[in-house]
Amino acid sequence: MTLHITPLSPTIGAVVAGVDLSRELTPAQQREIDAALLAHQVLFWRDQPLTPAQQARLAHQFGDLHIHPIYPSVPGQPDVLVLDTAVTDVRDNAIWHTDVTFLAEPAMGAILTAQQVPPYGGDTCWASGIAAFEALSAPLQTLLDGLTATHDFAKSFPLERFGSDAQALARWEQTRQQHPPLSHPVVRTHPVSGRKALFVSDGFTTRINEVSAAESRALLDLLFAHGTRPEFCVRWQWRQGDVAFWDNRVTQHYAIDDYRPQRRVMHRATILGDRPF
């Protein structure tokens, strides 16, 4: 082992040291990070400033990268999106969500770098879908396992906020055409560990398909509240140069929007994954 791993809770999150992320990982380092991600679901590094090219190279070692249809990207680096409160309305991140579940094959994970952070505020929370599922009663686990839910990009990117001019409207309509609502399992099985996790979030999940509208609303309200209980969560206080890498298959996250009018700039490289089952 070359990594030094300090868990942040028994459930989720660990701080990692012992590797320079600006350099290409060795196969052994990549295996250790894979194992740490599997064990802790979200990993953090302090004082690892990365250029967009370095960030994309790091993320690409874990899979192909997604180009976001709505958010802007770094000039010349389309696979690194920019979350900048001075440029884009990023309030959509201030809701519990799992990234790009409007894709048939959602993200396996994402690597986020802190480019500019406010002197206070602007933390991000992550919640473990594995811990949330395992804490449910056995009858409720049985009920949910096998159900499917609809995910819709427009829930977090509504037309009234993302179609405000002709260019934005054309982009939104193209995204709507390319990404109509689709279904994923309510309970997802991790493709590596085999552990089961809740796979619904307030950001994109609109209804549970096999039950009535009223039952769906009641179940989703229960799951949204249950899945983000504090004992399933970790909260990270950002410093400039920090890096986070999370397993998007079994987590959701919430970027706390409590720092306006201060500016916050983050770069994200999103790693494509496989079809949930």
Residue 60 annotated among the catalytic residues of the structure:
no
> Computed from CA positions of residues 267, 271, 272, 276, in that sequence, does the dihedral angle turn out positive or negative?
negative
Q: Which helix (H) or strand (E) holds 11?
A: none
Q: Considering 79, 92, 99, 202, which one is annotated as catalytic? A: 99
Q: Considering 97, 151, 184, 267, which one is annotated as catalytic? A: 97
Cα(91)–Cα(85) distance, integer angstroms:
9
Distances (CA, A) of 76 to 53, 62, 81: 9, 21, 11
Q: Considering 66, 184, 207, 253, which one is annotated as catalytic? A: 253
Alpha helices in 135-252 (DSSP H): 138-144, 159-162, 166-178, 213-227
Helix (H, G, I), strand (E, B) or coil at 59: helix
Beta bridge partners of 270: 110
Residue 253 annotated among the catalytic residues of the structure:
yes
Residue 217 annotated among the catalytic residues of the structure:
no
**One-letter amino acid identity for 267?**
H
Q: Considering 179, 184, 267, 268, which one is annotated as catalytic? A: 268
HSE-CB at 138 with a 13 A cutoff on CA atoms is 0
Q: In 10 A of CB 24, how many CB atoms?
A: 12
Q: How distant is the alpha carbon of residue 241 from its chain centre?
A: 19
Question: Catalytic residue positions?
Answer: 97, 99, 253, 268
